[in-house]
Structure 1
């Protein structure tokens, strides 16, 4: 049986299961509606952790000779992988910019009733925009626009001993973890390359010293030689399901 889960929708939007609502069907007919701008989360990936305080916004500015109607306006973002499906969708608030142009905006906020999707759904989601002009022209992009929805990552660092004698070894440890949406906890991200970087005191740029892979629990550990005062950090470049993250630098004083 196909399992269909539905995400949270806020500010006037309606959240329904897929069995109760059908996504708008794309129309191939010509339309006079012109999309001037589409913004999903301000152009940044949607990054969700495990809490119920996450939120993001979809906004579209469109125009037509007759103006944009508030009727049939619909904004949504969804993904289906195998038997897993999730959707954040609803009716946006449309505000006229002038006689021909309107901006329609919808803010989505997770709450205790809905929450985050399944782990399998991290990646590129389909963004659906449906609008109608006042003279009846219908626009639907059919979910052609893609946008990333990712599992939030965390990265820690500890460099010791502090202080350290020049030429002596420093052990730098840390852990790379990411949100497990299925269990709503953070778990170690295993077998991932993470760069160890150093920023000399008085400078502003980190330089990569080496790359270390996380172990079976997401932990990192390596040894380096103390050569100068400065900050040590781990830096993760990210993947298609998990965003990049840098640990805060840990200062080591050399004596």
Structure 2
């Protein structure tokens, strides 16, 4: 059994996001709670938070009268524009920034981002709300720059969650709330690892050198690293007196993730395998293995 958790509400007191835990068998997406219902609760509670503390919701601005909320979101940056690469264990802190564009008379408001895997929130396989209500700073009469954080937990992810995730942003005033979907994207990938070993060492110049290794990838269903099969990997070499690697040849991993190839030893240097990633697996580079050529 494995605990799965999802955001349930925004605290009106602290602004922190409360967690509601659910127990489900590992690797069974059907047993997950609905992220869409979580988002609806989060938006409603964000509005309640604003209503409870309207003067502090945006730099001390007083709340305006009821009006249809008219906002857009721009400039979304997730994880400093880098892929979110999540391993088999631990926790992964992911920052997000964005700008809420609004009418000059919007009044007090609050905002909280969500990130989800799927074309829409309603059809998402999984998602996260921000760890706390976003911190927003007014940069003009019609724009506020906001920042928040997500925490990705491998224990709550399944392999089907790897790929492109979308960003949604909730905005709430005293009287209205809205959820803007698909305002940004970011890839969420399973961590890959690759090893290398060149033998024999030392080796005679011109003799055959066998280079082996293994390519593995985080399995979110089991929270372990497993062999990553039939993937393209490049063998690289750099002379001992150089800092630059060059490609030697490309090979594919076996079904179990094993790597093996041969080269002719020419001079002292370092060999390494490089995996350039896949639609679901992050990039990986082995530490160079030094070979002494006699």
Partner of 2:163: 123
Alignment root-mean-square deviation, CA: 3.1
Name the residue aligned to 2:222: 183
Please give the TM-score of this superposition, normalised by the length of structure 2: 0.72
Please state whether the residue corresponding to 1:183 is helix, strand or coil. coil
Gaps in structure 2 of 5+ consecutive residues? 21-32, 44-67
* Offset of residue 110 of structure 1: 4.4
Aligned length: 242
Given that 1:6 and 1:18 are in contact with CA atoms closer than 8 Å, whether structure 2 keeps it comes out as no
- Which residue does 2:268 correspond to in 1? 229
2:253 to 214, 219, 233: 214
2:38 pairs with one of 6, 21, 33: 21
1:140 deviation in Å?
4.3
Residue 68 of structure 1 contacts residue 131 of structure 1 at CA under 8 Å; is this kept in 2? no
Residue 103 of structure 1 corresponds to which residue in structure 2?
145
Q: How far 1:37 sits from its partner (Å)?
A: 1.9
More helix by share: 2
Measure the CA separation in 2 of the matches of 1:104 and 1:251. 48
Q: 1:94 aligns with which of 135, 138, 151?
A: 135
What are structure 1's unaligned runs of at least 5 residues? Answer: 25-29
Which whole-Å CA distance do the structure 1 matches of 2:7 and 2:289 have between them? 38
Q: 1:12 aligns with which of 13, 16, 23?
A: 16
Tell which has more relative contact order, 1 or 2 (C-alpha 8 A, sep 6+).
1
Give, in whole Å, the separation in 1 of the partners of 2:242 and 2:107: 53
Q: Which residue does the alignment assign to 2:235?
A: 196
Which has the larger displacement, 198-207 or 211-220?
A: 198-207
The 1:232–1:67 alpha-carbon spacing in structure 2 relative to 1, beyond 3 Å, is: farther
Within a 5 Å distance, the mapping from 1:163-174 to structure 2 comes to 163-174=202-213
